[in-house]
């Protein structure tokens, strides 16, 4: 079994020993570089170019520079998707965003994780667990979403939150770790 197959099966894998993964990441890093250097006034060019990076998009998608991801093809965004500056999506596994999702600056969505075992971690072993975000979700600035998290519909995640566990629909949640503070 290849390292990519292990990754896609949710198993521990080493991306440093799979030439296909290495080439995919290099290609995507180059595409992100090109995207981040498009003049911000060229809105149509930016809108079309971002669709060449992401796996699946609806029509109205806007991501401000700088934007970084690992593969791109594992990311899908719904209609009316907006992300402010410095969005990072480590998409070893699927990252799905619903419609009307707004992301503040300096946010990260991390499907990648590493073993606590020092020997395995030092060998470059990692895992990837999917992230799913529902419809009508707003993330304040500096939010980090960890591997395997699902966030429901109609949710506000407060600035600076670290989301380590699932967040249900129809609530406001914030903190480190992020917890539901009230229902909508």
pTM of the model: 0.96
Average pLDDT over residues 119-128: 94
Q: Compute the average pLDDT of residues 85-97.
A: 98
Q: What is the pLDDT of residue 129?
A: 98
Structure tokens at 20: 């296909």
184, pLDDT greater than 90 = no
Q: What is the pLDDT of residue 81?
A: 98
Q: For all residues of the chain together, what is the average pLDDT?
A: 97
Q: Domains of the chain, with CATH numbers? A: 3-154 (2.160.10.10)
Query: Cα–Cα distances in Å, from 124 out to 13, 70, 160?
Result: 8, 16, 28
- Given pLDDT bands bounded at 50, 70 and 90, which one contains residue 135? very high
Give the CA count within 13 Å in the CB-facing half-sphere of 46: 17
Instruction: Tell me if residue 85 is catalytic.
Output: no
> Of 51, 94, 114, 179, which is the active-site residue?
114
pLDDT digits (tens, 9 = 90+) for 137-183: 999 999 999 999 999 999 999 999 999 999 999 999 999 999 999 99
Cα pseudo-dihedral 183, 78, 39, 109, rounded to 10? 60
């Amino acid at each position: 079994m290849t390292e990519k197959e292990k990754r896609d099966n949710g198993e521990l894998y080493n991306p440093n020993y799979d030439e296909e993964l290495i080439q995919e990441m290099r290609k995507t890093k180059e595409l992100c570089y090109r995207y981040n250097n498009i003049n911000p006034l060229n809105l149509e060019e930016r809108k079309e170019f971002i669709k060449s990076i992401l796996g699946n998009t609806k029509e109205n998608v806007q991501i401000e520079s700088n934007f970084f991801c690992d593969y791109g093809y594992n990311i899908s965004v719904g209609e009316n998707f907006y992300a402010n500056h410095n969005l990072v999506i480590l998409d070893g596994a699927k990252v799905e965003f619903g419609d009307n999702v707004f992301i503040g600056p300096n946010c990260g969505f991390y499907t990648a994780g590493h073993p606590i075992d020092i020997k395995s971690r030092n060998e470059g072993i990692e895992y990837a667990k999917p992230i799913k975000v529902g419809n009508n979700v707003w993330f304040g600035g500096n939010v980090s979403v960890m591997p395997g998290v699902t966030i429901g519909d109609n949710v506000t995640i407060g600035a600076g939150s670290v989301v380590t566990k699932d967040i249900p629909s129809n609530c406001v949640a914030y903190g480190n770790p992020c917890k539901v503070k009230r229902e909508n």
